[in-house]
Amino acid sequence: MFNKLKKMFGLEEEQQDGTTQASAPAAKQVAIKAPLTGEVHPLSDVPDPVFAEKMMGDGFAITPSEGVVVAPFDGEIVQVFHTKHAIGIRSKDGVEILIHVGLETVKLNGEGFDAHVTEGQNVNAGDHLLTFNIDYIKENAKSTITPVIFTNGDVLENINITATGSVQKGTDAAVVTLK
């Protein structure tokens, strides 16, 4: 009976000799929403070798046009830096992302940033994570460009950045395939 159900629901494939074999599960894909509104760039455009050379992981960057960071998926906040310039989030599927607002913003010691979440908090895609004063960062940091880094690339089979040009926070930005 279970074999018939498996076959009926496509969980088994019939072989040429009439026997059945369980099919491999489809690779799990996770949609990643843009955490900011602005212009999308490849990491190679980020004027910092740690990000541009993918030392922390693969991803993309956004030059923000407004000072709001939202959750790119449903998940858990795993880190809120004490300087509020960066935040780490893990999806329910295990994808981990670091959103690092601007370059050399750690030196601002939290000035111009407000965190709206705490470590361990569960969030839904689109929930506000951080707000920041974009003008203050333009005046006091190296750049507003914001790297969005997949920090656990070892569990990812593929990263497909789908967003180009202008992007609105909460819209599709990438799709990752888990191993």
DSSP, collapsed to helix, strand or coil, labels residue 45 as: helix
State the pLDDT at residue 22: 52
Task: For residue range 74-122, list pLDDT tens digits in order.
Answer: 999 999 999 999 999 999 999 999 999 999 999 999 999 999 999 999 9
State the pLDDT at residue 54: 95
Task: For residue range 112-151, list pLDDT tens digits in order.
Answer: 999 999 999 999 999 999 999 999 999 999 999 999 999 9
Residue type, 96: E
State the pLDDT at residue 71: 98
Question: Residue 27 — pLDDT band, cuts 50, 70, 90?
Answer: confident
CB 141 within 8 A of CB 103: yes
Catalytic annotation, pick one of 41, 82, 100, 116: 100
Domains of the chain (ranges; CATH) run: 25-178 (2.70.70.10)
Please provide the average confidence, as pLDDT, over all residues in the chain: 89
Active-site residue flag, 100:
yes
- Whether 14 shows a pLDDT value over 60: the answer reads no
State the pLDDT at residue 77: 98
The DSSP secondary structure of 39-88, one letter per residue, reads EEEEGGGSSSHHHHTTSS-EEEEEEESSSEEE-SSSEEEEEE-TTSSEEE
